[in-house]
Amino acid sequence: MNEKINTFIITGFLGSGKTTLLNNLLQQFSNQKNVVIENEFGKINIDTSLIKGKFESVYELTNGCICCSMSAQLFETLSQIHNLEQKPDNLFIETTGIADAGEVASIFNQLYVSEKFDLKKIVCVVDAQNINYYMDSAVEIHKQIVASDCILINKTETIELNEIDSVKKSVKSLNPFAEIILSKDGGLLKDFLFTKNNSKITIENSIDQTKNIHNIKSLLFETDSKFDIEGLKSELFKILYLYYHQIFRIKGYVLDKHNKVFLVQSIGKTFFVSPITNVIIEKSQLVFIGKELELKSIERLMKPAFEK
């Protein structure tokens, strides 16, 4: 059986330092075969000329975002990479600054792609100095942060310590599940890319119906009702199809009629519902993160998935 190609998505808003992080990682992986997909919204990909370090080849996808208008080209490029005579060990994807990271990740959860590429980590680079200026006006930043497994707060030397704490708090309010790492120059140890992503969810009282200044809500939905797991999958499919632009992420645990625990996770338009044995819960708990969310609406949407 052929080994899957390790895949890492680097996302982040315009000018946050994505290419600097990519160069840093390529240098650390210099003893392996690396391939890069560089996506630029404009017709000319300036970032390609800035990539350093050891890599076999760079695939340029320009004049559009791989999360939407260029998804077909991304599929074609992935097929080319998989069919290379000498398959790479690692694939690094640097998205545009306005990409929807959840949509890009969704592509790697599709059957054909997931059989060949192993999406290890989504890293979002945040510009510590400018993040708060952009937050109010750019929903893309919200989606990038929410979709990621790791938030690299970059350029920390440009702001004061109390401001760093403020940025961390703001980022954590958007994505309570991600690991947050501080960096001055886009540095991230390569070993971290292979650490297990956090599936353990700590439900804090502060999550319940909290809302940050950027109009992103984290809602905690709790119920003593048991779930019909197949019914839950059906409802999640409909919910994410209809309300994708409002619901950025779902994560939590549910119980079925036999009191078996299932981990529920969504990213972009895809979701997973899988049995889990190392968690004990007394009631089902799901955290919804997104815009304009209301608990009553969530309760109405989830009710059809309850065991009859």
In the numeric block, the tokens 């100095």 are attached to 129
Q: Are 201 and 222 in contact (CB under 8 A)?
A: no
Average pLDDT across the chain, whole number:
83
Q: Which residues contact 290 (CB under 8 A, 6 or more apart)?
A: 146, 216, 217, 243, 246, 247, 248, 249
CA 123/CA 195 separation, integer angstroms? 12
Q: How many other C-beta atoms can be found within 10 angstroms of the C-beta atom of residue 206?
A: 11
Binned at pLDDT 50, 70 and 90, residue 212 comes out as very low
Under the banding of pLDDT at 50, 70 and 90, the label for residue 222 is: very high
Q: What is the pLDDT of residue 136?
A: 66
Residue 11 has pLDDT above 70, yes or no: yes
Find the helix packing angle between 71-82 and 101-108, rounded to 10°. 40
pLDDT band at 101 (very low <50, low <70, confident <90, very high): confident
Q: How far apart are CA 204 and CA 248, in angstroms?
A: 19
58 vs 23, which has greater pLDDT?
A: 23
Rounded-to-integer distance, Cα 217 and Cα 207, Å:
9
Residue from 40, 11, 248, 69 nearest 142 by CA: 248
Q: What is the pLDDT of residue 186?
A: 84
Residues in the chain, overall count = 308
Q: Sketch out the chain's domains with CATH numbers.
A: 5-194 (3.40.50.300), 205-305 (3.30.1220.10)
- Span 135-146, mean pLDDT? 79
Q: For residue 146, give every residue at least 6 positions away whose Cβ sits within 8 Å of its Cβ, in sequence order, or none.
A: 102, 174, 175, 216, 248, 249, 289, 290
Please say whether the beta carbons of 180 and 168 come within 8 A: yes
Q: pTM above 0.85?
A: no
For residue 229, pLDDT over 70 is answered with yes
pLDDT band of residue 72 (cuts 50, 70, 90) is confident
**Site of tokens 């999958």:** 233
Collapsing DSSP to helix, strand or coil, 282 comes out as: coil
pLDDT of residue 45: 42
**Per-residue pLDDT tens digits for 108-120:** 888 789 999 999 9
- Least reliable range by pLDDT among 50-64, 178-192, 267-281: 50-64
pLDDT at 199 over 60: no
Tens of pLDDT, residue by residue over 251-265, are: 889 999 999 999 998
Q: Mean pLDDT, to the nearest integer, of 16-31?
A: 91
- CA–CA dist 131, 97 (Å, integer): 13
Closest CA to 184 of 152, 153, 151, 156: 156
Higher-scoring residue by pLDDT: 266, 11: 11
Question: Average pLDDT for residues 124-136, to the nearest whole number?
Answer: 82
Q: Is the pLDDT of residue 86 over 80?
A: yes
**How high is the pLDDT of residue 54?**
56
**Which pair of structure tokens corresponds to residue 238?**
């409909």
pLDDT at 128 over 60: yes
Report residue 2 CA to chain centroid gap. Answer: 26
What pLDDT is stored for residue 40 in this prediction? 63
Smallest Cα–Cα separation from 126: which of 102, 104, 154?
154
Residue 232: pLDDT over 50:
yes
pLDDT bracket for residue 170 (50, 70, 90): confident
Least confident of 47-56, 106-115, 194-203, 293-302: 47-56
pLDDT higher than threshold 80 for residue 64: no
Confidence class for position 200, pLDDT limits 50, 70, 90: low
Predicted confidence (pLDDT) at residue 163 exceeds the cutoff of 60: yes
Residue 294 token pair: 């209301």
Q: State percent of the chain over pLDDT 90.
A: 42
What's the confidence (pLDDT) of residue 42? 41
Distance CA 8, CA 27 (A): 15
